[in-house]
Amino acid sequence: MTDCPSLDELFDHVRGGVERLPGVVREHTASCSSCRDSLEWMERIIEAIDQAPLEAPSEGAVARVIDLAREMPVATRKERRWSLARLLGDALDQPALAGVRGSAEHAHRLLFETDDGHLDLEITPSEIETGKCRVMGQLLQTGQQPIGDLLAILWRSGIVVSRAIGNDVGTFVFEAVQPGDYKLDMWDPSSGQGVRIERLTVSARGS
């Protein structure tokens, strides 16, 4: 009986193409559920790390995904629901907003509504790089429940320019963001729920 190949052996085999698996290993893997599981996992890893540069789907494709997602009655791990965040308030247009929740003096605050909660964004001049901005957000479900451990992705012209991971209270931060127009995606990997801001203008008061 052939011994189980190690993960690094499988990595080399998969990197070189599964067809390069030596026959004896291939036969073993076909009959060993543990090795088959490791091989499939390794193939997903290779597929994921070869996904670079990350590219945004087209506008039409995103709209179609959103339409399809809205038809899904229940979100499971394999199903993904998208919703678009709708702007409720902008501190530059409505100065009264700027004073809520102890915002910084030069903060540009934006409040968005999502399908089942809301998103607060605070954009302030960067303390790291002059002329750039710090974007801090918090995604909350109805009842002020934070969505922890989310993934936030900042896109510009179809390219991922920055990524951030939220903390356990749903707060994420992008440091040193060039002023301009972006798309912002926020993902909750555990539920498959995603929220997108189609157009986010990054500029800070006084910056």
Partner 1 sequence: MSADESIVRTEQRFQVERGLEQLDDRCRRLLTMLFFSDPAPSYDDIAEQLGMSAGSVGPTRARCLAKLKRILRGMGF
The SS3 of residue 92 is: coil
Classify strands 180-188 and 193-202 as parallel, antiparallel or unpaired: antiparallel
Does position 36 interact with partner 1 (CB under 8 A)? The reply is no
For residue 191 the two structure tokens come to 């539920």
Rule CB under 8 A: choose which of 107, 111, 123, 153 binds partner 1.
153
For residue 151 the two structure tokens come to 């993934």
Amino acid at 180: G
Rule CB under 8 A: choose which of 17, 77, 93, 168 binds partner 1.
77
Distances from the Cα of 106 to the Cα of 26, 124, 167, angstroms: 62, 6, 24
> Which stretch, 58-66, 92-100, 108-116, 174-182, contacts partner 1 (CB under 8 A)?
58-66
Return d(Cα 70, Cα 68) in angstroms, integer. 5
Does position 44 interact with partner 1 (CB under 8 A)? The reply is yes
Continuous segment of H or E residues that includes residue 12: helix 7-15
User: Using CB under 8 A as the criterion, what x/- string covers residues 97-126 for binding partner 1?
Assistant: ------------------------------
Does position 51 interact with partner 1 (CB under 8 A)? The reply is yes
Does position 49 interact with partner 1 (CB under 8 A)? The reply is yes
Nearest distance, CB of residue 151 and partner 1, angstroms: 5
Say which residues have a Cβ less than 8 Å from residue 181's Cβ, sequence separation at least 6: 156, 199, 200, 201, 202
Nearest distance, CB of residue 193 and partner 1, angstroms: 12
Residues that bind partner 1 (CB under 8 A): 6-8, 11, 15, 38, 41, 44-45, 47-49, 51-52, 54-58, 61-62, 64-65, 68, 77, 80, 151, 153, 160, 163, 165, 187, 189-190, 194
